Structure 1
Amino acid sequence: MEIQFNQLKTAGSSTPLTIDNWQIAPHQSWAVFSTEGDVGSLIGAVLCDTLPFEGTLNKGDGRIVLVSLREQQKLLEQELANDDTDFLDRIDTGTTVHDLIFDMCSDDTLCDTLIAELDLDHLKNSGFRVLSTGETRRLMLARALATQPDYLVLDNPYEGMDVAHRQSLSAYLGKLAETVQMLVVLSREADMPDWVDNVALFSQGELVEVMNKARWDAHPVIAQIAAQSEQQSDEMMALLRRYQHSTPFENPIFALTDGRVEYTEKTIFTGVNWRINKGEHWQIKGPNGAGKSTLLGMIFGDHPQCYSNNIHIFGKQRGSGETVWEIKKHIGMVSSALHLQYRVNCKALDVIISGFHDSIGLYTQPSIQERKIANEWLDILHMRQYANTPFRRLDYGQQRLLLIARAIVKQPTLLILDEPYQGLDFLGRRLMKRTLEMIARENLSQLLYVSHYQDDELESIKNTLTLVFDDRQGCYVAEVTRAAV
């Protein structure tokens, strides 16, 4: 399939897409590397005729399909709209994996093949809303392939996947590239696949250079952008120090005794004993589906089984009469689940301010001080021009930066970061990683941190809780490694 962009510029998005001239020849597979800006969804929307543009785009008549975090978000919203929990004697977990794929092709053989190839067989009867982030990413790819596309646009396909699934997906896509033409959009240099023919480099939504894969391997862009992220993170830390305060709590900050989470069909984990003392930072590890997000949700108070477990948090026994808001005011949270739940369309400024009130959206009049601090955050993030832009109109990466600022702005005792960089461009990820490293080093908040990438590990986090599968018990158990005092 041949695609030709000429003097193309989009309208209607916070980051415009600008392509002066770009030709994709038949049978070529391309990678797009974006240093700043959410170009994956934009390119996909242009190719799929869902975003207006100026200029010309010539393409064949083949079927083009986009797989992105934004498309994943749309599917979740559809699933939530169809939630029948109120009419059932059980919680509606959503359409099953099998049915979501079958609906795209009405072909049992193809459906079963994709389920097997993308390691979804053990999840085929699971509802969409109980899947982990990595499991959902594989499901979205299976749904796209079920339509038997001629051209596939993959926007950061490895985000949210554990190491093993990233490796297996890379091999799978390499084989798929022999029969399906692909454009894969990346913001991590380590994710660049060997099987691409050429690389297009974008910055702030503009195509700045095209090159073959060999030239990309020696390109200096990664080193060039490091200085910019260092300057921004220094500014962010100066802001945090200016409004620094100390936590009033003594040990333990949090303790879970013999923790267990189970559903009707299976147990997720059991026998988890975890104590977080004052000043400790923790990384939580484990494969997709191990229950990392579930465990963090029990701390935050959003998981219903937090009240059926023996939990001690901020000096109180959970379920002893405290309100969820008494707990949440000392916790900042960033997660894919929260991002998907943040469906209100308040202004960008109000998203940050909502962090002071632990709300999704803003429903009270903010103080002058809250507005001042939120505007300072927008300045550091280079987003002041979007202060009054509705949250839903921003790019996915811009939304994620706002949600990170929302979590940090009140300098909570516990800062829960469940795959915080998902959807961020290269610069945004460098900026936030360096900032979080300094927050941990200076103990401005205690970090509970999840990332599947070894490159994302923070030097200041010395304690690890790893969820590993126990064949004897048929579920996950916790291995706790505490730093020597």
Structure 2
Amino acid sequence: MTDSPVLRLDGVAFTYAGGAGVSGLDVSIAPGEAVALIGPNGAGKSTLLKGVLGLVPQTAGHMSFADADAAAAQRPVHAPDGMVGFLPQSAELDADFPINLEQVVMQGRYRSLGLFRWPGRADRAAVRDAIETVGLGALVKRRFGELSGGQRQRGLLARALASEPRLLLLDEPFNGLDQANRDALIDTIRRLKQRGVSVLVSTHDLELARLVCDTVVLVNGTQLASGPVDEVLTLGNVQECFEGVEVEIDEHTLVVPGHEGH
């Protein structure tokens, strides 16, 4: 496996047509590295993830994937097919639709299947592996709507993994999870890292960053800090990023006071 960064952002900005966005992004993600993207609501975390996917315009800087690079910083860059998997913050999937877990996860193979090819042995193997990776192997034939909310979240993660991505983008995956599903998702991220999959996870859970992430990027409209977890998650940095907002840290609530002049 190459040691080149799976994703690299140099001075990147992603901006919506109305002007909102996130800027000043300098991020490099190595194979098997987990990066926590931390900031308050509206800070630009989801914008960054969607920008990497090409869903929000890149308006400054340079972005590259693995060894592929653009000829110029202004040239649009897109991830190669199948390289990036994405778990959105909310997924539009009707829990009452008569479809089982295996069929949901097989949706992650549709891009590689194309319009006129049925799933083959490799597709079925990738789906089984994805379901086992998220710890739902015993529920493979269970109707998706009968799963708990946390299990459905893990099933949708398996769908993102079914394409066998090298980079996985997770947008607030721990929201609303009970402890059992939270622990299962943490174990999943650890297993993915061991297999060389890179993870960029948007979260408010600072304890998560300490448990499974190697690097933290703090954002609030622009990048405020980036580096190893212990160096970045300092009280001063957290105060700057979460001004006046309650954040979870070490399973307790830290109330960050406001700053004069901000």
**Common fold: TM-score over 0.5:** yes
In the alignment, the residues of structure 2 paired with residue 292 and residue 444 of structure 1 have an alpha-carbon distance, to the nearest angstrom, of: 23
2:218 is aligned with what amino acid? T
Is contact 1:250–1:315 with CA below 8 Å preserved after alignment? Answer: no
Identity %: 23
Residue of structure 2 in register with 1:335 after alignment:
88
Q: CA contact under 8 A between 2:101 and 2:141: conserved in structure 1?
A: no
Q: Is the 8 A contact 1:259 1:309 kept in 2?
A: yes
> Normalized against structure 2, the TM-score is what?
0.68
Check 1:333–1:363 CA distance in 2 against 1; reply closer, same or farther (3 A cut). Answer: farther
Query: Whole-Å Cα distance in 2 between the matches of residues 351 and 429 of structure 1?
Result: 21
Structure 2 CA distance, aligned partners of 1:421 and 1:261?
A: 25
**1:286-312: CA deviation from partner (whole Å, max 9, x where unpaired):** 1111011111122223x2314765211
- The one of 365, 378, 383 aligned to 2:139: 383
Unmatched 5+ stretches in structure 1: 1-246, 469-474
Residue in structure 1 matching 2:161, options 408, 411, 428: 408
Q: Where does residue 310 of structure 1 map in the other structure?
A: 62
Give me the whole-angstrom Cα distance separating, in 2, the residues matched to 1:451 and 1:258: 22
Matched, 1:285 2:38: yes
Partner of 1:275: 28
* Matched AA of 2:180: L
Q: Structure 1 residues 391-400 or 254-263, which shifts more?
A: 391-400
**Aligned counterpart in structure 2 of residue 477 of structure 1, from 217, 223, 233:** 223
Pair 1:454-2:206 in alignment:
yes
Assess, with a 3 A threshold, how the Cα gap between structure 1 residues 433 and 482 changes in structure 2: closer, same or farther. closer
Match of 2:215 in 1: 463
Distance 1:321 1:481, change over 3 A: closer
Given that 1:255 and 1:311 are in contact with CA atoms closer than 8 Å, whether structure 2 keeps it comes out as yes
Given the alignment of the two structures, is residue 430 of structure 1 paired with residue 183 of structure 2, yes or no? yes
Structure with greater helix share of residues = 1
CA apart distance, 1:429:
1.8
User: RMSD value over aligned CA atoms?
Assistant: 3.4
1:179-221, CA deviations, whole angstroms, 9 ceiling, x for partnerless residues?
Answer: xxxxxxxxxxxxxxxxxxxxxxxxxxxxxxxxxxxxxxxxxxx
Give 1:467 shift: 0.6
Q: TM-score, normalised by structure 1?
A: 0.40
Closer, same or farther: CA 421–358 of 1 in aligned 2, 3 Å = farther
Contact 1:400 / 1:423 at 8 angstroms: preserved in 2? no
Q: Secondary structure of the equivalent of 2:158?
A: helix
The C-alpha deviation readout for 1:432-462, integer Å capped at 9, x for no partner, is 212312432x243111122212333353422
Maintained 8 Å contact 2:35/2:213: yes
Gaps of 5+ in 2: 232-262
C-alpha separation in 1, matches of 2:212 and 2:152: 27
Q: Over alpha carbons, which structure has the higher Rg?
A: 1
For the 8 Å contact 2:49–2:169, the answer to whether it is kept is: yes
Q: Which amino acid aligns with 1:317?
A: D
Moved more, 372-381 or 249-258: 372-381
Looking at structure 1, the residues matched to 131 and 23 of structure 2 have their Cα atoms a distance apart, in angstroms, of 42
- Between the aligned partners of 2:122 and 2:11, the Cα distance in structure 1 is 43
Match of 1:332, SS state, is: strand
